Chains A and B, each alone.
Chain A
């Protein structure tokens, strides 16, 4: 009797002798493909342009115009022309971006509207005419400009490193500088050829 009772148990034991657990990790492929697809659709036309205008080391960079995070800053929806592939996906960089966005809306936008601030040719911002600001606002604006420039330095450096090419930092800075100017509202000031110009 006992033997017969033991049969199912032994059978079960034998059946479970080899257990394979398959773990399907959350795939990243699908998302990435979609993003590249969208980029290609938007950028196909721009690809040729970028190769002509910049050449040299930049030719190795792919074209991409996904500047949605910057749109959040509300500085216009100009699609970038001639922007290299800047993947700015990491949460740290996105955290910096949201900080820059709230600082822009809170403090800096008024400075640009009044002409007190301007975009520099190296991707930073600076106080070009303090006289346009009330005295009590100037201290806060100086501090906000200093904070923003610190954030910008971090972004340009980390984007270059994240793309595996820390030596591209200078070029990435140039591209961002161009993009800031392209996306600026009319009436805002930017540095060009050693002097200040108004858009």
Chain B
């Protein structure tokens, strides 16, 4: 704004010598003044100089002032000031500059002081605490010095909108001491220190936003017709910003920043040098290339972190929050080298030096990660990662080595990797990971061999009753895709001297909300005595077979299954059911109508013989359709089913009533039995 006014007043003052010294006033109407920077239209100049006075009054009106390259437009400017002589051949004028209907003395009033002589020109524009001083020296006509103090960033909005049209600068101010060089035929150059304070900005689509940003940088900007260059070097101090999903909360300590950028013709900006220096927490050096639409075309970064603990809070909270890992604990040091081309990852090399990764919900824990992981979308690379110990959903595992090989966008194990877990081991064979790319999610395939895992420790870790057994098995094909792991093949387990076989295992949303496990399970020859003792159900001796088909656990609680258990008589094996077990079974019912005489007599016997025990339950929608031993004379319509068929004397039989059973109540009562809180209901 200052330069065009300056130009106009210079023009007028240039006419002064031509006018008579004693003249009363000079008025001029100029339709249009075009300067390199701006165009003034509807200009009117008036100079009143009383005879023999030492100052006159200069008034300048400009109907329109347009500076299209800078993006500024003003209407109805009026400058009125007392014109005085200054020095031998200089002039000085200092008065209010008003726009439109603004009155002098109000907050919006600006003051413009111009001083010039043969050697130099100085113009000062002030409004409140804001000050802009422009200096030109006749000896160096191409150079203009611009000194800005506490200028609201909104004043620079129009100019910044040329470089970044979508951004709106909402708050903050800046200081700068800029040197502007505009030699004819040579590039324009603007350079000098710049201090930003409490800058707030937001793009129109709210994808990028910043608040309270501060910086102290030196800028150097050069602009030629087909080439623009910008260098920024300094520090960023405080504030926060959000760019898409990346949220950065800058620390109070200054963070070093250096960017060199260059734009040729109309292509996108190239950033051959990017540096971010945040102490031990994050050091980044690299380069980038942006497309014409400001999308990221290329990125090469070298990232180093010697202390990863503040990393999550300062830089990663946006992304981790999206994946539900917002509270993950990170410790250690790591180096990372990343190469992106056209939005897809070409290479990633991560080197970890003793990194600990911990989820506060204890879904996963990895301690002592070291080694490197290298991913390549092209040529093959190898790497190896180790950890010292870890935990997955409560199951602990020990040190393991993962030998990676990566090529063509796939990360795979080049050898079998064995993880010691819970007294046995888990071996991954042929693991291949394809990271998410181009809209498709991650795809992981592997074969798994479990060997001699102590199921007692597993039950303890996941809160089951103290089962004992060893778990082994092999799953030749497991596949994770679309938030679902399918395990082909089966696992089998030695449990209570019998066999348990799992098949059709699938796990949905393993890392998501409410993981859902489905399986078919078959039991063979379990030792009932040990089983009932572990469950606290009294003692029943014998052998148990059974199956659970279509088991579905959502969030590790059963919502559906079709289960059937039946005892399996073996020659030479006793089949006895203890008094306590009988009482426990009866306590599950609402009320057992046992005649008082018989009730008392049950108390006389420690145990009873049985021929068969059988029970079934099909759970759907919280209702358990119960069944017992199937007799040929059991009619479907009756509401009764035999659970225990006695043998010998006294002959005990247990008959269940109500085939449609309320599942939650049943579970509650069974749990009460197991913990011994029950009072047996025997009249």
Closest CB of chain A to B229's CB: distance in Å? 31
Structural contact, B209 and A16, CB atoms closer than 8 A: no
B664 at interface, CB cutoff 8 A: yes
Report which of A12, A18, A90, A139 forms a contact with B247, defined as CB distance below 8 A: A139
Structural contact, A25 and B590, CB atoms closer than 8 A: yes
Q: Which residues of B contact A130 (CB under 8 A)?
A: 206-207, 209
A129 at interface, CB cutoff 8 A: yes
Contacts A24-B658, A96-B513; A12 near B554 (Cβ below 8 A): no
Contacts A90-B559, A161-B552, A162-B621; A16 near B513 (Cβ below 8 A): no
Contacts A147-B513, A151-B514; A19 near B621 (Cβ below 8 A): no
Identify which of residues 586-600 in chain B touch chain A, using a CB-to-CB cut-off of 8 Å: 586, 588-594, 597-598
Q: Spot the interface stretch: A26-34, A56-64, A179-187, A188-196.
A: A26-34
**What residue of chain A has the Cβ atom nearest to residue B668's Cβ?**
A26
Report which of B207, B509, B663 forms a contact with A28, defined as CB distance below 8 A: B663
Structural contact, A92 and B652, CB atoms closer than 8 A: no
Contacts A90-B559, A131-B202; A15 near B513 (Cβ below 8 A): no
Interface string of B667-680 (1 = CB under 8 A from A): 00100000000000
Q: How many residues of A contact B (CB 8 A)?
A: 48
Report which of B324, B560, B621 forms a contact with A147, defined as CB distance below 8 A: B324
Q: Spot the interface stretch: A69-77, A152-160, A170-178.
A: A152-160
Identify which of residues 642-683 in chain B touch chain A, using a CB-to-CB cut-off of 8 Å: 643-644, 646, 649-658, 660-666, 669
Closest CB of chain A to B602's CB: distance in Å? 6
Q: Which residues of A contact B649 (CB under 8 A)?
A: 13, 17
Q: Which residues of A contact B247 (CB under 8 A)?
A: 138-139
Interface string of B580-617 (1 = CB under 8 A from A): 00100110111111100110011010001000000000
Q: Which residues of A contact B512 (CB under 8 A)?
A: 150, 153-154
- The B interface is mostly helix, strand or loop, or mixed, namely mixed
Q: How far is the CA of A19 from the CA of B584 in the complex (A)?
A: 16
Q: How far is the CA of A161 from the CA of B267 in the complex (A)?
A: 53
Structural contact, A24 and B591, CB atoms closer than 8 A: yes
Closest CB of chain B to A108's CB: distance in Å? 14
Q: How far is the CA of A90 from the CA of B663 in the complex (A)?
A: 10
A7 at interface, CB cutoff 8 A: no
Q: How far is the CA of A93 from the CA of B553 in the complex (A)?
A: 11
B152 at interface, CB cutoff 8 A: no
Q: How far is the CA of A32 from the CA of B622 in the complex (A)?
A: 10
Structural contact, A22 and B655, CB atoms closer than 8 A: yes
Structural contact, B554 and A27, CB atoms closer than 8 A: no
Q: Which residues of A contact B516 (CB under 8 A)?
A: 154, 157-158, 161
Interface string of A22-64 (1 = CB under 8 A from B): 1111111101100000000000000000000000000000000
Q: Which residues of B contact A20 (CB under 8 A)?
A: 594, 652-655
Contacts A146-B324, A147-B324, A162-B621; A22 near B594 (Cβ below 8 A): yes
Most chain B CB within 10 A, of A139, A151, A161, A162, is at A139
Contacts A27-B662, A150-B513; A21 near B653 (Cβ below 8 A): yes
Report which of A24, A140, A161 forms a contact with B657, defined as CB distance below 8 A: A24
Q: How far is the CA of A31 from the CA of B594 in the complex (A)?
A: 27
Q: How far is the CA of A30 from the CA of B211 in the complex (A)?
A: 61
Report which of B211, B324, B560 forms a contact with A162, defined as CB distance below 8 A: B560
Structural contact, B594 and A23, CB atoms closer than 8 A: no
Q: How far is the CA of A82 from the CA of B179 in the complex (A)?
A: 71
Structural contact, A23 and B589, CB atoms closer than 8 A: yes
Structural contact, A25 and B594, CB atoms closer than 8 A: no
Q: How far is the CA of A91 from the CA of B558 in the complex (A)?
A: 9
Q: Spot the interface stretch: B25-33, B113-121, B314-322, B355-363.
A: B314-322
Q: How far is the CA of A162 from the CA of B339 in the complex (A)?
A: 46
Structural contact, B650 and A19, CB atoms closer than 8 A: yes
Closest CB of chain B to A67's CB: distance in Å? 17
Q: How far is the CA of A22 from the CA of B586 in the complex (A)?
A: 7
**What residue of chain B has the Cβ atom nearest to residue A163's Cβ?**
B621
Interface string of A112-138 (1 = CB under 8 A from B): 000000000000000001110001101
B508 at interface, CB cutoff 8 A: yes
Q: How far is the CA of A19 from the CA of B598 in the complex (A)?
A: 7
Q: Which residues of A contact B422 (CB under 8 A)?
A: none
Q: Which residues of A contact B623 (CB under 8 A)?
A: 28, 32
Structural contact, A143 and B321, CB atoms closer than 8 A: yes
Structural contact, A27 and B658, CB atoms closer than 8 A: yes
Q: How far is the CA of A161 from the CA of B241 in the complex (A)?
A: 43
B242 at interface, CB cutoff 8 A: yes
Contacts A24-B657, A28-B660; A139 near B242 (Cβ below 8 A): yes
Q: Which residues of A contact B324 (CB under 8 A)?
A: 143, 146-147, 150
Contacts A28-B624, A96-B513, A164-B620; A21 near B586 (Cβ below 8 A): yes
B415 at interface, CB cutoff 8 A: no
Q: How far is the CA of A15 from the CA of B623 in the complex (A)?
A: 38
A142 at interface, CB cutoff 8 A: yes
Q: Which residues of B contact A90 (CB under 8 A)?
A: 554, 557, 559, 621-622
Most chain A CB within 10 A, of B513, B651, B652, is at B513
Closest CB of chain B to A163's CB: distance in Å? 8
**What residue of chain B has the Cβ atom nearest to residue A27's Cβ?**
B658
Closest CB of chain A to B523's CB: distance in Å? 22
Q: Which residues of B contact A24 (CB under 8 A)?
A: 589-592, 656-658
Interface string of B194-220 (1 = CB under 8 A from A): 000000001001110111000000000
Task: Show the binding face of B for A, using Cβ within 8 Å.
Answer: 202, 205-207, 209-211, 240-242, 245, 247, 317-318, 321-324, 326, 508-509, 512-514, 516, 552, 554-555, 557, 559-560, 582, 585-586, 588-594, 597-598, 601-602, 604, 608, 620-624, 626, 643-644, 646, 649-658, 660-666, 669
Interchain Cβ contacts under 8 Å between A and B, 8 examples:
A13-B650, A15-B598, A19-B601, A21-B644, A28-B624, A28-B663, A90-B559, A150-B324
* Complex A-B, nearest 8 residue pairs according to Cβ-Cβ distance, in ascending order: A143-B321, A23-B589, A131-B206, A92-B554, A130-B206, A28-B662, A26-B665, A16-B601
- Sample of 12 more A-B contacts, CB < 8 Å, known A22-B594, A135-B209, A151-B513: A16-B604, A19-B608, A21-B582, A24-B590, A25-B626, A28-B623, A32-B660, A91-B557, A92-B514, A129-B206, A135-B241, A161-B552
Task: Show the binding face of A for B, using Cβ within 8 Å.
Answer: 12-13, 15-29, 31-32, 87, 89-93, 95-96, 129-131, 135-136, 138-140, 142-143, 146-147, 150-151, 153-154, 157-158, 161-162, 164
